[in-house]
């Protein structure tokens, strides 16, 4: 092989550069998202239960919210009947944030981890801002 020295050195440098992110994070603990349920309202609940099961909410909250938005905005339906038969007002502000008043420790945990930026907050008022405004 001609120029084997140069080629092999080049290859080693190339592989090293490509795998740099792996070398960089070696030995570092992978911080898993840990959505916190530590809010005053949730702490007062005897049975900690969201409007649907935990797994359903993890998997489908975005589709559920989409369905809510269309029902409220377009069909003037404001009440959600959960699979357990309970009634909830379909509202981010009145229902979701009532319990989950910790956007940074709850919503952002997973959203930052998977690097998505939902634009809910451009219009909907963050629960943190509510506190800042003295509500």
**Residue 128: CB minimum distance to another protein, A:** 10
**Residue 54: CB minimum distance to another protein, A:** 12
**Residue 61: CB minimum distance to another protein, A:** 11
Contacting positions for another protein (CB under 8 A)? 52, 55-56, 59-60, 63-64, 66-69, 71-83, 87, 90, 93-94, 119, 122-125, 127, 129-130, 133, 135
Helices (H), 77-132: 97-99, 107-113, 127-132
Residue 21 CB neighbours (<10 A): 9
C-beta closer to another protein: residue 6 or 135: 135
**Burial 63-93, CB ≥16 within 10 A → b, else e:** ebeeebeeebeeeeeeebeeeeeeebebebe
C-beta closer to another protein: residue 37 or 72: 72
């Amino acid at each position: 092989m001609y120029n084997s020295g140069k080629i092999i050195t080049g290859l080693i440098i190339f592989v090293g550069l490509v795998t740099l992110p792996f070398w960089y994070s070696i030995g570092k603990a992978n911080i898993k998202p840990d959505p916190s349920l530590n809010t005053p309202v949730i702490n007062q609940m005897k049975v900690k239960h969201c409007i649907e099961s935990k797994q359903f909410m993890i998997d489908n909250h975005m589709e559920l919210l989409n369905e809510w938005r269309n029902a409220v905005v377009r069909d003037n339906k404001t009440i959600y009947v959960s699979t357990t038969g309970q009634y909830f007002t379909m509202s981010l502000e009145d229902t979701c944030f009532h319990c989950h008043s910790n956007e940074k420790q709850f919503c952002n945990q997973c959203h930052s981890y998977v690097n998505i930026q939902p634009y809910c907050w451009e219009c909907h008022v963050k629960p943190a801002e509510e506190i800042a405004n003295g509500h």
